[in-house]
Amino acid sequence: MKMMLSEIARAIGSKFNNEKYKDVEITEVQFDSRQITEHALFVPLIGERDGHDFLDAARASGACATLWQNDHELPQVKFPVLEVDDTLSAMQLLAKYYLNKVNPKVVAVTGSNGKTTTKDMIAAVLLQEFNVHATQGNFNNEIGVPFTILQMKMNTEVLVVEMGMDRPGQLALLSELVEPDVAVITMIGEAHIEFFGTRDRIAQAKMEITSHLKEDGLLVYNGDEPLLRNLAASLSQEKLTFGFNEDNDIVGSDIHSYKYHASFITNASDDKFSIPLIGGHNVSNALAAILVGEHYHVQLATINRALQKFKATENRMEWRKGDAGEDILDDIYNSNPTAAAAVLNSFAAVPRRKNGQRIIVLADMLELGERGPAFHAQLAADINPAEIDEVFLYGTLMENLAAKLKEKFAPEKLHLFHIDQQAQLINQLKDTIHTDDIVLLKGSHSMNLDRVLAAIL
């Protein structure tokens, strides 16, 4: 981006602390003082820490102006300051202005599972024909979405933006901010059910992504989910569905999952598609990407090539090499019952190495409310001792799964560790894993399985 401070002030309805600063040039907007570069506008947000306390650090790193919430005492510095009522709202307003200025097509992606992978796939497909900017990392909330917009280059033709939610109304706000041309809903699961109560309410909240879908826009959604079909029926915009049932617009079939990739065919062509991820759930994500690509007139052969080589965001079903020579399937970014069951079934289908074991490490799935214990226990149906050789469980809720698995696994093959026993978990894993083994790690992000992963890499 490149804007004069005077233009930014007009966009957010603010005034300078000194008119001489109007021609200061801004090339970046940043809210993290540690990431500041020269010519950056610093946006001090108020969270666990107050960003206003880090103005000196931002200036030292090269910030050339700052927003300033007017309930804070103005800094006594000779430095460009734009006063606003609320710094987050001002950043969102600036993002809206900049989005309209660049005017790309907007593809917005949400869902209980698979939204990041689907976003990555869509971006890879559209990158074959357009200048694309996409959400990086997990910047998918009311801070991350405007930040993503403000990172766009001026020549961006398509913005692929991921949208997360953990409460009603959140996606409506984000939809209003970006006004998508295409909205994609990957699926409805149990993520955040603690805050919503039922899958029906989760589906209603996910549909908020369409609240500001352009009148000539397109909704792409998982047609295998009756809740979404019912809610989408009243939508006036064009709708396309993907899934494995025959009544979808694009149908995936003949799915084969190997160690490092999965293949499938569709009703759209005779071509066999391939993705560098395993599991039917990732095939479903690819089907959504194919529909979006076709909507923007990308040829199927081009889509196929893009999907074959796309790079998924880190910690999402990524194969890593362990310290003992074992292969580790890293899926530690987050977890919920639907996602865990899907990856367990995919992992169980990966061929063992000669003399090797399949070992799973599962940590608590959080934000499931009072149904958490039951959801954990239900995972026992997806863990078969004929397919899985050793089970390591970590966390309080995993006690419910352990109780069920005791009926199927010998005591020496089932290991339960309490929340304060991560070091013991790591040590026993190291003693258990051998060169020819394959290992799955899956758990909610705040269970810190990244420390376990780091210890065995």
Numbered residues of the known binding site for ATP: 111-117
CB atoms near residue 102 (< 10 Å)? 17
The residue to which tokens 């998924």 are assigned = 312
The pair of three-digit structure tokens given for residue 184, joined into one six-digit string: 């994609």
> Do residues 252 and 269 lie in contact, with contact meaning Cβ atoms separated by under 8 Å?
no
Classify 174 as helix, strand or coil: helix
Classify 301 as helix, strand or coil: helix
The residue to which tokens 């289908």 are assigned = 349
Distance CA 362, CA 118 (A): 24
Question: Residue 44: left if φ>0, alpha if ψ -120 to 50, beta else—which one?
Answer: beta
Residues 6+ apart with CB under 8 A from 263: 254, 255, 256, 272, 273, 274
* DSSP-assigned states of every residue in 5-23: HHHHHHHHT--BSSGGGTT
Q: Which residues are annotated as a binding site?
A: 111-117
Distance CA 221, CA 191 (A): 18
Distance CA 73, CA 71 (A): 7
The pair of three-digit structure tokens given for residue 50, joined into one six-digit string: 């107050």
Question: Residue 430: left if φ>0, alpha if ψ -120 to 50, beta else—which one?
Answer: alpha
Backbone angles phi, psi at 242, to 5 degrees: -130, 160
Residues 6+ apart with CB under 8 A from 349: 257, 278
Query: Which amino acid is residue 301, in one-letter code?
Result: A
Classify 311 as helix, strand or coil: coil
Classify 264 as helix, strand or coil: strand
* DSSP-assigned states of every residue in 193-229: HHHHSSHHHHHHHHGGGGTT--TT-EEEEETT-HHHH
